[in-house]
Amino acid sequence: MEQDTAVVTLAAADAASIAAFVAEHYQGEPPWLTQARHQAGTLAATAALPQRAKSALRARRWEDAPVLAEGVPAVPAAPRDGIRITRGGYRSTPLPAAWTAAGVLCWNLADAVRRAPELVRQYLGQALAAEPVGDGAVGTEGAKFAALNAALWQHGVFLYVPPRVQLTEPVTVEYCIEDSAVTLYPRTLLIADRESQVRVIERYVSQEPEGAARRLLSAVVEVFAGEGARVEYNAIQDLGPSVDAVVHRAARVARDGQMSWNLGEFGAGVLAGRQFTALEGPGAEGRTTVVFFGNRAQQQEYTAITEHAAAHSQSDLFARGVMNGRARSAVTAVTHIRRGARGSHARQREETLMLSPTARAEAVPSLLIDEHDVFAAHAASAGPVEESTLHYLMSRGLPEIEAVRLVVHGFLAPVIDRLPQDAVRDLVWERVERKIRE
């Protein structure tokens, strides 16, 4: 595999260099997309990063992040099952014949631009764009990376599920940063038409060559859940320490639609995750379950924003994580119940357990409520594992590592039990076990 050679960092990537990069590497696309890339490139070059000391996205940490990387990567090896996406392309095992017959479209987004241009054009960027700016919103942190992805995305999943089609088997996607790759900009567009049902399981992994230089994953996932549609999204992030990851996820949920986000965040040097859920129709539901575990010098920032814009909408967020070593985490949840969202129901729960005195964790819950007739509750905590608890368990003969393992198991079991997929739960437990012993 050819090594990427020239690399432009975030600090050096101005509008002109991004424009030149787009012009060189994204040829043959429809004019509307080329134009959208250039506009996004300009925004990416000019948008500021947060200056807040506590944000994992704060400017000085990202100046050296590689954003433009030359090189001709190889096409990925075929996956055993599902879809594999790398810098070099998109490979997939054939869709089940029944899905094709039912009208399900599942392609590389880069191909979908040509094969279903109207659909792509109608939806691309429209979930991210729904996030309100100002007016009680929490700001535009990460907008720079969302714009970078909009300018530079290469491959990703385009999945369209027609009305009333229910996919029983999950669609599995693996994003892999191979050892020759410096950057990866995947983009996923998931459209679940009315009363359809779909489940996706994503895995984010990287190959870690010895002494790997800093690398960047900037991913965007957009979901559109139509009326009465049910979308279950699962992701396990297991990137190596050389990769800094910025992942934006956004969903718009129509009347009686259900969106479920299920995330296991374990890897990456620095992770900045941002999730936005717009409950736009009456009875729309958003359910979020997050398990995270950081150790060594990992930094994890995770922000979940939920907008209740319609009556009787419901949201329920439950995030629990463990920080060990010198790891740091900040979990922010913002739930906004807008005027008119009568009878809405919102819950937030964010809890972090610190296993070492040098770990740091922050939990910031917030509820913004503009309507009277609603139920909203939040709970947040971040605390160390109690010395007396470990002593108690050790006093029964359990070695310290076993005592820690039991406490971590007990702490994470309620959140892991909430993950809807058996296979995902098993993977998450496996990661947790590994992290405890690392």
Contacting residues toward other proteins, per CB under 8 A:
386-389, 391-400, 402-403, 406-407, 409-414
Amino acid letter at 292? F
Q: What b-and-e string marks burial along 234-249, b requiring 16 or more CB atoms within 10 Å of the CB?
A: bbbbbbbbbbbbbbbb
Q: Which is nearer to other proteins, 322 or 341 (CB)?
A: 322
Q: Which is nearer to other proteins, 56 or 408 (CB)?
A: 408
Minimum Å gap between C-beta 385 and other proteins is 11
Minimum Å gap between C-beta 425 and other proteins is 15
Q: Which is nearer to other proteins, 370 or 402 (CB)?
A: 402
Minimum Å gap between C-beta 409 and other proteins is 6
- Cα–Cα distances in angstroms (integers) from residue 209 to residues 4, 180, 232, 372, in the given order: 13, 9, 34, 56
- Residue with the two structure tokens 């991913």: 219
Minimum Å gap between C-beta 241 and other proteins is 29
- Residue with the two structure tokens 């999730």: 275
Q: How far apart are CA 417 and CA 289, in angstroms?
A: 10
8 Å CB contact between 291 and 331: no
Q: Which is nearer to other proteins, 126 or 389 (CB)?
A: 389
Minimum Å gap between C-beta 402 and other proteins is 6
Q: Which is nearer to other proteins, 356 or 389 (CB)?
A: 389
Q: How far apart are CA 131 and CA 307, in angstroms?
A: 8
Q: Which is nearer to other proteins, 120 or 408 (CB)?
A: 408
Q: How far apart are CA 217 and CA 178, in angstroms?
A: 12
Minimum Å gap between C-beta 388 and other proteins is 5
Minimum Å gap between C-beta 358 and other proteins is 17
Structural tokens at position 375: 């139920």
8 Å CB contact between 200 and 159: yes
∠ CA 170-152-242, rounded to 5°: 75
- Residue with the two structure tokens 């094709």: 100
Q: Which is nearer to other proteins, 141 or 350 (CB)?
A: 350
Q: How far is CA 368 from the centre of its chain?
A: 23
Q: Which is nearer to other proteins, 367 or 394 (CB)?
A: 394
Q: How far apart are CA 170 and CA 167, in angstroms?
A: 7
Phi, psi of 351 (to 5 degrees): -140, 135
Minimum Å gap between C-beta 264 and other proteins is 17
